[in-house]
Structure 1
Amino acid sequence: MSSPRSIVLLFTTFPKTSETFLQRDVAALQAKGLNLKLYSLWGGGGEFRGLPVRSFNKWRLVPLFLFEIPWQCVRRPRLIRDLFEGVCTRAAPSFLNFWENMLGAGYAGCFYRELQRDPPALIHGAWAGAPATAGWVLWRMFGWKYSCGAHAYDIYEHGGDWWLLEKLRHARFIHASTETGRRELVDRGVPVDRIRVIRRGLAEFPAFKPLRPDRTPLRLVCVARLVAKKGLDHQLRIYAALQAAGFAFEARIIGDGPLEASLRELAAQLGLGDCVTFLGRLEQPRVWEQLAWADVLLHTGVVAPSGDRDGLPNVIPEAMSAGVLVVTSPVSATTEAVAQERTGLVADVDLPLAWQVALQRLATDDGLAERLRGAARRWVEENYNAHRNTDRLVECFQEAMTE
């Protein structure tokens, strides 16, 4: 018997340490017995769970421009005309997004002959940037079915991806991971019946730790990339306000990023050296160790100057599953998990006093803390089960392949 037709999975960079949720998706799809082919358009490559990850050698773009594009101008003039018209008549939202889309189109031009030898049943782009562009161009060339994800970065960064609507309107389905993202896509004109809200998930739920009876000093943790949308400058000022008020706490910030030097400098200026520690990027097992230590996870997400913002960061449901209390800002989809007074507490990053009040309550009110912790764990079990959610994603793939 011949092997089943493949599903081609396209990533920007795979595997990537900060995108463990994509690794979970691939592992779960592989466990379902699907015939997967993995391609990484920018970085990554190598092997993942025994599957080769094909990387894109950018030198292949040289013959693409010299020979392939002129040949396609003759063979597919309408496609080439549409691409050049789009490039020339509207500005890309950013230099980076321009090249992301060019990368996706370049992949399609360089790899289509290889894919023709064993045409895929479905092409799925993990993101609506370069991976979705590749799927869309291959659909234009051969009519191959494609689908894609559309998450916070794709939707919000500099107003959204350059060719977002063209790609999403023709996708067999669009994987959104939050209701907030779904509503935004619908408002922009994406057909509502194409969007599937399927959350990420935990393959295993950790042990639910007991509430620490004496939470003085209160143990605070933040797990985040050190980038603008995480609002860590606000978080440091919140810590400074807590310290000025005589509130006993110890805070640990886990993560690295381009703002690390400026944030360390700000912490020093605010006199936080004795109570705030930067731990840098940690592997996932060590992150779980820090969650086991912490009483409260803080998330101070904001809308970055570029428009980028979080969807629902995975660390929030992870903390909730382990029995760590959560205080978050009311930005984007975080409040889908952290509902005020039900599964956690919500406070505006510009109001340090509100954070002080929230943390004081969690430090001293055992009844409130236990009620929030229990409800948070139930929310995760109901909404963040990786096996159940991956089953839904598999169903989407199977429906898309058979339509």
Structure 2
Amino acid sequence: MPSRPLKVAFLFTTFPKTSETFLQRDVAALLDHGVDVRLYSLFGGGGEFRGRPVRRFNLWKLVPLFLFTIPWNCVRRPRIVRDLFEGVIMRAPPAWLNFWENMLGAGFAGCFYREFRRDPPDLVHGAWAGAPATAGWLLWRILGLPFSCGAHAYDLYEHGGDWWLLEKLRLARFVQTSTDTGRQFLIERGIAPGKIVTIRRGLAEFPSFKKLRSPRRPLRLLCIARLVEKKGLDRQLRIYAALRGAGFAFEARIVGSGPLAGELRTLAAELGVDRQVSFLGQLPHEKIWLELAWADVLLHTGVVAPSGDRDGLPNVIPEAMAAGVLVVSSPVSATTEAVQPERTGLVADVDVPLAWKVALERLAGDDALAETLRRNARAWVEENYDARQNTARLIEWFERAARHR
């Protein structure tokens, strides 16, 4: 162990962010373990977190970057500038948003490298493989600072993956995924298995395990998700329509916001389920736990979006399992790492509403099955989703990466 606290510059796209409370839990756990975490938000965010300043990247700093810093580095570091411009010119980005994400990361590195040179961290860690990893990669190119990063669902799958994904990950000291599925995907893309580690998110404290409600009629159904394509909420509404058509008694709540909100409300009305389904919008995290206390079953209807984007393992699934909420999920991506069919939950095809009706009928009517699934699910969470244990593993990788310059 080092004689002083490990100093980690933690780079985020946006921090703190309401829809990414899992990252706030990660940082809190690192601070509780005594890591000297320096927080940087590349786009928006800022303020303070747990008494630590969150350095927000002021985009106005890009003006002197283009006027002075880039021309100066064309003379001082021509190879780095040349490689960067070749990377821009020689390969088209998968999408314009991803292009600007990488340019944001490059701009951050160009504006902050002097600060990092004056007071270097032991390690630069990017929360994501997009803009934060680009910043870490270029800080390594300029200053030789070791860097690592996370690589998660959006980074890997959206439009075929991040623009410079492989270039960055091959040079990172290590890459953290939160699912075995993501790890295997990167191995298949050519990243060395020994530098990819699956370290899941986690809960700092496990919630109380509620009693099984009996009888469960009408069945209380809950979905917590951003209202975007990959969540498959149009299919979920059709599942509700099938339940209604079969005379199945239920109440459903959908928590979350997003660009499809209006379209989904309209579809609910067209399908005749707008009286059974309530759209609650985005709620603060403390109220999410109240919704989980209300619910009998959490539904996750994730799909692969036309862009290729999909979920890894949504954090709400282990959270629901920890609280004693039954889970029915589609089998897309890494969800079945937690929702193991007939052991910790039930799995059904989102395009077969009858399969969901059968699954929900079983959960509504079979107390023994429901109790077995709930207790197995809680055991899985306690084994795999403990923030203290998972953070300790992450710190071990941080220390190993910092030692090998």
Query: For this structure pair, what is the TM-score category when the shorter chain's length is used for normalisation?
Result: over 0.9
Give secondary structure in 2 for the equivalent of 1:69: helix
Give 1:306's aligned residue. 307
Give secondary structure in 2 for the equivalent of 1:340: coil
Deviations 1:38-62 (A, max 9, x none): 1100010011010000001111101
Give secondary structure in 2 for the equivalent of 1:14: coil
Give secondary structure in 2 for the equivalent of 1:343: coil
Give secondary structure in 1 for the equivalent of 2:359: helix
Structure 2: which amino acid aligns with 1:288? W
Give 1:297's aligned residue. 298
Give secondary structure in 1 for the equivalent of 2:13: strand
Instruction: Give 1:157 shift.
Output: 0.5
Give secondary structure in 2 for the equivalent of 1:42: coil
Structure 1: which amino acid aligns with 2:292? L
Structure 1: which amino acid aligns with 2:106? A
Question: CA contact under 8 A between 1:225 and 1:257: conserved in structure 2?
Answer: yes
Give 1:251's aligned residue. 252
Structure 2: which amino acid aligns with 1:106? G
Give 1:205's aligned residue. 206
In structure 1, what is the Cα distance between the partners aligned to 2:321 and 2:242?
26
Structure 2: which amino acid aligns with 1:132? A
Give 2:23's aligned residue. 22
Q: How many residues align?
A: 402
Question: CA contact under 8 A between 2:117 and 2:143: conserved in structure 1?
Answer: no
Within a 5 Å distance, the mapping from 1:376-395 to structure 2 comes to: 376-395=377-396
Give 1:334's aligned residue. 335
Structure 1: which amino acid aligns with 2:365? T
Instruction: Give 1:4 shift.
Output: 4.9
Instruction: Give 1:117 shift.
Output: 0.9
Within a 5 Å distance, the mapping from 1:17-96 to structure 2 comes to: 17-96=18-97
Instruction: Give 1:6 shift.
Output: 2.5
Give secondary structure in 2 for the equivalent of 1:13: coil
Question: CA contact under 8 A between 2:159 and 2:308: conserved in structure 1?
Answer: yes
Question: CA contact under 8 A between 2:158 and 2:309: conserved in structure 1?
Answer: yes
Question: CA contact under 8 A between 2:8 and 2:38: conserved in structure 1?
Answer: yes
Give 1:283's aligned residue. 284
Give secondary structure in 1 for the equivalent of 2:313: coil
Deviations 1:298-349 (A, max 9, x none): 0000001110000100100011111110000000000000011011000000
- Considering only aligned residues, what root-mean-square deviation do their CA atoms show, in Å? 1.0
Give 1:266's aligned residue. 267
Deviations 1:185-238 (A, max 9, x none): 000011111011000011111111111111111000000000000000000000
Q: Does 1:100 align with 2:69?
A: no
Within a 5 Å distance, the mapping from 1:144-159 to structure 2 comes to: 144-159=145-160
Deviations 1:248-286 (A, max 9, x none): 000000000010000000001111122100011111111
In structure 1, what is the Cα distance between the partners aligned to 2:274 and 2:28?
41
Instruction: Give 1:119 shift.
Output: 1.3
Structure 2: which amino acid aligns with 1:141? I
Give secondary structure in 2 for the equivalent of 1:148: strand
Question: CA contact under 8 A between 2:10 and 2:38: conserved in structure 1?
Answer: yes
- Gapped regions of structure 1 (runs ≥ 5): none
Within a 5 Å distance, the mapping from 1:339-358 to structure 2 comes to: 339-358=340-359
Instruction: Give 1:20 shift.
Output: 0.7
Structure 1: which amino acid aligns with 2:245? A
In structure 2, what is the Cα distance between the partners aligned to 1:237 and 1:61?
48
Q: Does 1:139 align with 2:148?
A: no
In structure 2, what is the Cα distance between the partners aligned to 1:297 and 1:32?
33
Deviations 1:62-91 (A, max 9, x none): 111111111111111111111111110110
In structure 2, what is the Cα distance between the partners aligned to 1:374 and 1:392?
26
Give 2:323's aligned residue. 322
Question: CA contact under 8 A between 2:7 and 2:122: conserved in structure 1?
Answer: yes
Give secondary structure in 1 for the equivalent of 2:12: strand
Give 1:226's aligned residue. 227
TM-score, normalised on structure 1? 0.99
Structure 1: which amino acid aligns with 2:190? G
Give 1:115's aligned residue. 116
Structure 2: which amino acid aligns with 1:251? A
Question: CA contact under 8 A between 1:303 and 1:309: conserved in structure 2?
Answer: yes
Give secondary structure in 2 for the equivalent of 1:210: coil
Question: CA contact under 8 A between 1:5 and 1:119: conserved in structure 2?
Answer: no
> Taking every aligned residue pair, what percent have the same amino acid on both sides?
73
In structure 1, what is the Cα distance between the partners aligned to 2:122 and 2:187?
27
Structure 1: which amino acid aligns with 2:335? T
Instruction: Give 1:18 shift.
Output: 0.6
Question: CA contact under 8 A between 2:216 and 2:296: conserved in structure 1?
Answer: yes
In structure 2, what is the Cα distance between the partners aligned to 1:161 and 1:29?
27
Question: CA contact under 8 A between 1:224 and 1:255: conserved in structure 2?
Answer: yes
Structure 2: which amino acid aligns with 1:314? N
Change (3 A) 1:296 1:120: same
Which has the higher mean CA deviation after the structures are superposed, 77-86 or 4-13? Answer: 4-13
In structure 1, what is the Cα distance between the partners aligned to 2:195 and 2:293?
40
Runs of 4+ in 1 over 4 A off after TM superposition: 2-5
Instruction: Give 1:399 shift.
Output: 1.0
Structure 1: which amino acid aligns with 2:256? G
TM-score, normalised on structure 2? 0.98
Give 2:237's aligned residue. 236
Give 2:186's aligned residue. 185
In structure 2, what is the Cα distance between the partners aligned to 1:382 and 1:33?
23
Give secondary structure in 1 for the equivalent of 2:170: helix
Structure 1: which amino acid aligns with 2:400? E
Structure 1: which amino acid aligns with 2:144? G
Question: CA contact under 8 A between 1:11 and 1:125: conserved in structure 2?
Answer: yes
